[in-house]
Chain A
Amino acid sequence: MSLISKPHTAAPTRTRLHQRQDWTAAAFIAPAMVVLALFLLYPLVANFRLSFVNWNGLGNTARDVGLSNWLDLSRDAVFLRALGNNALLAVFSILIQLPLGLLLAVTLSRASRGSVALRIIYVLPLLMSSVAIGTVFRDLYDPNFGAINTALRSLHLDGLAQDWLGDPRFALASVIAVVCWQSVPFYMLLFMAGLSSMPDELREAATLDGASPRVIFWRITLPFLQGTVRTAAVLSLIGSLRYFDLVYVMTGGGPSGSSEVMATYMYRTVFSAFNIGYGAAVSSAMFLIVVVAASAALRLSRRYQTEV
């Protein structure tokens, strides 16, 4: 995986120098590998093993229960609903965050006065902690005193003033809206980085040929950014399936499980219900789902790749 392409010669016999270089490389990689094995691989395997026991997490009381946690999980209405909520979160994240991020990136990357100030403003949500964002929006959403309903009522739109976080019909949508607000700047930055590597000549040539800005966007900018879009979509998918923080702060997964996601369910199972084995099954299932979904997404997106 060298970055410098070697001249095409017949495969050289490996010299001592090469071998010594290999050892040196291995020595440099080893510490990172040890850390990975210790803090990533081992917990992953240990967690899988935990999913086959029944344990309250205290003392040596674990009992082997075989596949029963996994069988219960496949029939667990709460878990299936949480998985469905994760899927909704993923779909809406990709459909809302990516286009908005792209729009902002394209708009702001055309250098103009004031765009620096705008960039800073748009990036702000990315700099705040999720807990703080959740707390602020919880207060904005408050059905009796919150700014949102107060504004709606002052416009005589009382019919639209809802119980945003306490009504099972709206809780998930209310949380997703805040997740998008928080994440759009990240995708904006990603696309801006992609755009910055686009040669100016491309756009200049197209302009000389009389292409309108719209044509330039669809025919040149977007194809140029397709790798970035693909990366962004996969990141968004993985992030949505593992999502925890804003849901935990704003609704706790309620009311009645309407905004529960897999991670909040796992947290409750382990830390409130003392049900370690089942919680381990939930998190192992999460891991498998994320791996399958991410590799499927990568494969799909490669299929629709176009040559630039």
Chain B
Amino acid sequence: MKHASWMALTVVLASSLAAAQSALDVWHLQTTEGGKAVIQNAVNRFMKANPGVTVNVSPTPNDTYKTKLKIAFGANAAPCVFASWGGGPLYEYVKSDQVVDLTPYLQKDQTFYKRFVPAAWSAVTFDKKTYGIPAENTGIAVMLYNKALFAQYHLSPPKTWDDLLKIVATLKTHNVAALSLANKAKWPGSMYYGYLVDRIGGPDVFKNAVLRTNGGSFANPAFVKAGQMIQDLVKAGAFAQGYNGLDYDSGASRQLLYSGRAAMELMGTWELATIQNENPTFAKNVGFFAFPSVAGGKGNANDVLGTVGDNFYSIAKSCKTPDLAYKLLKALTDDQATQDRLADHRLPPVKGLTVTDPLLSQVAAFVAKAPSVQLWYDQDLAPQLGELHKDTSQALLGLTVTPQAAADQMEALAKKLAK
């Protein structure tokens, strides 16, 4: 026993010393079989092309990943290459001088830089410097709906907010909830708020509030009105019962769709692939449309909320071989990996893709004609503000805070953090 453990320890030490010569760690959060395979295959190709280099890949599920990454950076044990959503949380790492600025690499490598959809870079660009490579997917929030139910009650996808409220009323008379929402984790409900703010005030209202430019403020009337409209929707009985306690990760919102108890769900386009895997019969019935426009609002009805890139890959400052890590970033997003992702029902943010999947090509068309792509609020905001935004948007949906108070709370914290 004693001998065995010493032996094991020696072997571990020896192997870690050997690996230290040129080993790269990659941490990511693609935990589906397809997602994991794409990355592992790209890594295997990279190792074949670079003999003597070992790459260790660790996939971790979403929420655990966030915690794990944070603790690793805090303990100076960061991996060379790591995935993130860009936005506010990545900016925290950047501000703490933990992430390699990729701008010099990309300036020398224009052909590579120009492969990607321009909108993809905004989530990883801070102070005109770029800190990540967009890789995995395009995920935008759309309104999924049950076509059969709509046909049954002679409904057509709503173009405006008022149309939506009419549909809510019609479905209510038939004992069907218009909207399914599983908001225990608070980010699903946040999508309503983000879209309404855009439709009411246009994309600049949020940008100015975040950057504290042009007199921007989270107490801007557009935010207050968005909160009011969410509460109107709740009071109209639009949401299926339980919406603030249901768990999205356990499929509670989809269960309501499958059973016909709810007709629509506002969710990221990854939900389409999930439904195809989970319930292929029902998937034939699913269509989607853009979030409705608001009468008198400044926002373009083609603006989208979501992410072009979904996961972005960055290099930690602590990495001893940043040039090699950059090579690996290119391998993770090369043509083969892009094709593999397409085959896995995902839409990497690369120009000139031939998309055969009808739903995916519809998503691609949405992004192509979008004048503005706003990253998810909870990912775009600095972590403290993001947390408060999630709290206040859940409270708005639960009718436990007034729209004005929610907006004021956000503004008060934004002011405090800007000091």
CB distance from B192 to the nearest CB of A (A): 15
How many residues of B are counted as interface, with CB atoms below 8 angstroms from the partner's CB atoms?
40
CB distance from B131 to the nearest CB of A (A): 14
Counting CB contacts under 8 A, is B98 at the interface? yes
Residues of A close to B98: CB separation below 8 A: 58-59
* Interface residue stretch chosen among B134-142, B219-227, B242-250: B242-250
Cα(A269)–Cα(B390), bound, Å:
13
* Interface residue stretch chosen among B18-26, B105-113, B292-300, B394-402: B394-402
- Say which residue of A78, A145, A163, A273 sits within 8 Å of B383 (CB atoms): A273
Cα(A271)–Cα(B92), bound, Å:
13
Residues of B close to A273: CB separation below 8 A: 383-384, 386-387
Cα(A56)–Cα(B74), bound, Å:
9
Residues of B close to A163: CB separation below 8 A: 241-242, 245
- Check if A254 sits within 8 Å of B70, measured CB to CB: no
- Annotate A241-266 by CB proximity to B: 1 below 8 A, 0 otherwise: 00000000001101111100000000
Counting CB contacts under 8 A, is B357 at the interface? no
Counting CB contacts under 8 A, is B344 at the interface? no
Cα(A257)–Cα(B400), bound, Å:
10
- Check if B400 sits within 8 Å of A58, measured CB to CB: no
Cα(A274)–Cα(B381), bound, Å:
12
* Interface residue stretch chosen among A35-43, A136-144, A213-221, A224-232: A136-144
A154-197 contacts to B (CB < 8 Å): 163-168, 171
- Check if B245 sits within 8 Å of A58, measured CB to CB: no
- Say which residue of A56, A58, A255, A269 sits within 8 Å of B244 (CB atoms): A255
Cα(A59)–Cα(B185), bound, Å:
29
- Check if B70 sits within 8 Å of A57, measured CB to CB: yes
Counting CB contacts under 8 A, is A153 at the interface? no
Cα(A61)–Cα(B98), bound, Å:
11
Residue picked from A171, A251, A273, A274, most chain B C-beta under 10 Å: A274
Question: How many residue pairs at the A-B interface have CB separations less than 8 Å?
Answer: 107
- Check if A165 sits within 8 Å of B245, measured CB to CB: yes
- Check if A59 sits within 8 Å of B245, measured CB to CB: no
Counting CB contacts under 8 A, is B67 at the interface? yes
B185-221 contacts to A (CB < 8 Å): 185-186
Counting CB contacts under 8 A, is B356 at the interface? no
CB distance from A15 to the nearest CB of B (A): 39
- Check if A166 sits within 8 Å of B245, measured CB to CB: yes
Cα(A57)–Cα(B174), bound, Å:
52
- Check if B70 sits within 8 Å of A143, measured CB to CB: no
- Check if A59 sits within 8 Å of B96, measured CB to CB: yes
- Say which residue of B184, B250, B256, B384 sits within 8 Å of A252 (CB atoms): B184
Counting CB contacts under 8 A, is B330 at the interface? no
Counting CB contacts under 8 A, is A19 at the interface? no
Cα(A110)–Cα(B29), bound, Å:
55
Give the interface size class of chain A: 35 or more
CB distance from B250 to the nearest CB of A (A): 7
Residue of B nearest to A161 (CB): B241
Residue of B nearest to A78 (CB): B391
- Check if B247 sits within 8 Å of A138, measured CB to CB: yes
Residues of A close to B245: CB separation below 8 A: 141, 143, 163-167, 171, 251, 254-255
- Check if B67 sits within 8 Å of A271, measured CB to CB: yes
Counting CB contacts under 8 A, is B93 at the interface? yes
Residue of B nearest to A72 (CB): B416
Cα(A248)–Cα(B377), bound, Å:
23
Residues of B close to A138: CB separation below 8 A: 247, 250
Counting CB contacts under 8 A, is B153 at the interface? no
Residue picked from B98, B243, B244, B400, most chain A C-beta under 10 Å: B244
CB distance from B398 to the nearest CB of A (A): 5
- Annotate B222-254 by CB proximity to A: 1 below 8 A, 0 otherwise: 000000000000000000111111110010100
Supposing A252-B185, A256-B395, A273-B384 touch, asked if A142 and B252 sit within 8 A by C-beta, the answer is yes
- Say which residue of B66, B74, B256, B398 sits within 8 Å of A168 (CB atoms): B398
Cα(A140)–Cα(B384), bound, Å:
33
- Say which residue of B92, B97, B185, B259 sits within 8 Å of A274 (CB atoms): B92
Cα(A251)–Cα(B246), bound, Å:
8
Counting CB contacts under 8 A, is B147 at the interface? no
Residue of A nearest to B416 (CB): A72
Supposing A255-B394, A273-B383, A274-B89 touch, asked if A58 and B74 sit within 8 A by C-beta, the answer is yes
- Annotate B156-193 by CB proximity to A: 1 below 8 A, 0 otherwise: 00000000000000000000000000011110000000
Q: Contact residues of B with A, CB < 8 Å?
A: 66-67, 70, 73-74, 89, 92-93, 95-98, 183-186, 240-247, 250, 252, 255-256, 259, 261, 383-384, 386-387, 391, 394-395, 398, 400-401
With A144-B240, A144-B255 given, name 13 new contacts (CB 8 A).
A58-B74, A143-B245, A144-B256, A145-B259, A166-B184, A166-B242, A167-B244, A167-B245, A252-B184, A254-B186, A255-B244, A256-B400, A272-B66
- Can you show 6 pairs from A to B with CB atoms below 8 A apart? A139-B250, A163-B245, A166-B242, A254-B184, A271-B66, A272-B383
